[in-house]
Amino acid sequence: MFANSPKHQPLSRENGDLVANGSSDPFTTPPRSESGQTSPSASSPSLSTPAQDPFQGGPLHLLRPLLRLSTIRPGSIASLRKPYPSTKLRGEIHKPWLKYPDPAQRWAKILFWALFGLGFAASAVICYFGYASVQQLGKVCLVMEDTFDNGINSDFWSHEVRLDGFGNNEFEWTTASSNNSFVKDGILYIVPTLTEDVLGAGAITNGYTLNLTTDGTCTSSNVSQCAVVSNSSTGAIINPVQSARLITRDKVSVKYGKVEVTARMPLGDWLWPAIWMLPQNSNYGAWPAGGEIDIAESRGNAATYPAGGIDKMQGGIHWGPLPQFDSWWRTFGIRQDRVKGYHSDFHKYTLEWDERYMTIYIDNRVYSTLDISFDKSFWSRGNFPTYFVNGTDTVKLANPWVQSASNAAPFDEPFYLILNVAVGGTNGFFPDNVGGKPWSDSSLTAMGDFWAAKDRWHNTWPADPTQRGMAVKSVRMWQKC
């Protein structure tokens, strides 16, 4: 159509459309001749003139009309195009579900809110009865409060001075020395030290006689608990460690009430700190028939110690008709501080106890190590045998608490408080062949074996005595009244 147009033909605007100068409107029908045929124009292609290929470039694209909506004239191709049909619905849209709601949806809402309310009510009931089931101690009266503002108060405390290791065959010599128990800045410290610092290294293993009865310091009437002679031939040695054991016996005791000790535990291999209680009078017989209450005890070994180190704290009670029937394993529990361990911070170790129940906990009752109801007697709880073998004889096992009508027996008697740091022992608290233990409980030279391995354990004891010892910030005791 534009084959004969000049290569650079100028453009002009006619009636709003761009057209080539000298050409007519491309949408205008060319004039016809008298014969009725359309006469060729200079711009129209002829059969003798080769048509220019529109795909070979040139200004053909400039000659195309630039159409705009504002310049479309009636009758043009664009104005004849049919409009797109509308998808918009005309008139009112019928929505019967609004006029007639679905009953299923209504019942779904009713069911949801009904179950929600029922769940809320059930939760409230569970919480109420859970709270109501927690036994409360009731009214108690303060009988002792010691914050150690004026040193170790002799109105409350006595020192036990002995060499026998008590019932656990511990390795320490308990003293009244200020090296082993002292108050600093209102805090009581119970600290283990080496005996060689006082007697010399040679005296520990051979040729030294230690008699606490002679010097008048022993607090036991049993001479065997107060004297020892070191002898390298027999393996007998002087207790290689000194420590302290403070008690309230004959001064303060409680039968039913509350005991609260705020303390921090010591660090060091084979140290055994304890906060515990024994019966004032032992009316039911020798241990464990009279009972024992362990409010808190731990091991000073590192947290990696397999039997439980300074990161674990246990509490419980000992009871049974005879030592071989001690049933502590039925009534004890352990708490763990995985982050810091019990040597890093002070904690409140608490006992609550009356004729109905006993609970032992750390800081609050959520962290209990023991929570027991006295809903049956300890004789029934222990499931003890009727007979047992004693040597060559078969003996009937007697109930030591039969004289009491209380299910709390033997814990229906006054108990006094003990604070101490023991070292080692052969009662199994430190199990054999665990954590590099340097002695065997069955060995006759267990204490000597422990001392011979000094280089393996002494470097785990902090040089600072306030870190090596148990630190006690306060002690409070209440009697139920």
Query: What is the overall mean pLDDT for the chain?
Result: 87
Q: Which class for 306: exposed (0-12), middle (13-18), buried (19 or more C-beta within 10 A)?
A: exposed
Rounded Cα distance between 242 and 423, Å, is 9
Average pLDDT value for residue range 235-250: 98
> Tell me, what's the pLDDT at 362?
98
Whether 38 shows a pLDDT value over 60: the answer reads no
pTM assigned to the model:
0.76
Residue of 266, 246, 59 whose CA lies nearest to 159: 246
**249, 336, 297: which is closest to 425 by C-alpha?**
297
Question: DSSP character for 398?
Answer: P
Give residue 8's pLDDT band: very low, low, confident or very high (50, 70, 90): very low
258 pLDDT more than 50: yes
Burial pattern 54-82, b for ≥16 Cβ within 10 A else e, equals eeeeeebeebeeeeeeeeeeeeeeeeeee
Cα–Cα distance measured from residue 472 to residue 152, given in angstroms and rounded to the nearest whole number: 11
26 C-beta neighbours (distance < 10 Å), count: 14
Do 351 and 258 touch, CB atoms closer than 8 A?
Answer: yes
Q: What is the pLDDT of residues 338-395, one digit of tens each?
A: 999 999 999 999 999 999 999 999 999 999 999 999 999 999 999 999 999 998 999 9
Report yes or no: 234 and 200 within 8 Å, Cβ to Cβ: no
Q: How high is the pLDDT of residue 36?
A: 47
Using one digit for the tens of pLDDT, what is the confidence trace for 269-301?
999 999 999 999 999 999 999 999 999 999 999
